[in-house]
Amino acid sequence: MQVFLRLVCAAYLVFLTMLLLAANPLGLVVGVDYGGMISPRLQACIPLAHLMSFCVLSMLTLAARWPIPRWALLVSLAAYGGTTEIAQSFLPPRCAEWTDWLQDIVGIAIGAVLCWAFGTVGGWLLGLSKTPSGEARTGPTDDWEVVHRVMSRSRAGEESWWG
């Protein structure tokens, strides 16, 4: 499953890069040019395209459990967003915009929070709120500990979900 998630993550990253660097990203998605008619639903999503796409990228990247610290993945995604904005300034008719990069960062943060929340709920549903010896906990469970156990890596020496 982890290999599949990594392949999906890599494919999405390639697709997102094509969209971010294309002169007409809508043409890649729905096959229209800027003068063409766009459905009202798609038109409503355009202002938040960066936020939504980086939220999905963040969730896929964290779920794939790459063998580097989680904080480094999130910083790398933010740097990727900034780099693509800089690259857009050299590709007319695109232009670099600070608001797009800020949307990228907010999307990354939302994706990380959603991944943490899914890990917490998943740990609760899977009964991972037990002590390492297998005994049920008697008090409230620390959410970060549950997330750690749900998202932990299988190799020894890698203790934290974030690093």
Smallest Cα–Cα separation from 1: which of 71, 60, 72, 76? 60
In order, the DSSP letters of 94-141 are: ----HHHHHHHHHHHHHHHHHHHHHHHHHHHHTT--B-TTSPBPSSPP
pLDDT at 138: 47
Whole-prediction pTM value?
0.72
Tokens 């929070």, located at residue: 113
60-105 pLDDT per residue, tens? 999 888 888 999 999 999 999 999 999 999 988 888 889 999 999 9
- The helix/strand/coil state of 67 is coil
pLDDT at 160: 46
In the predicted model, residues of the chain with pLDDT beneath 50 are 138-140, 153, 155-156, 159-163
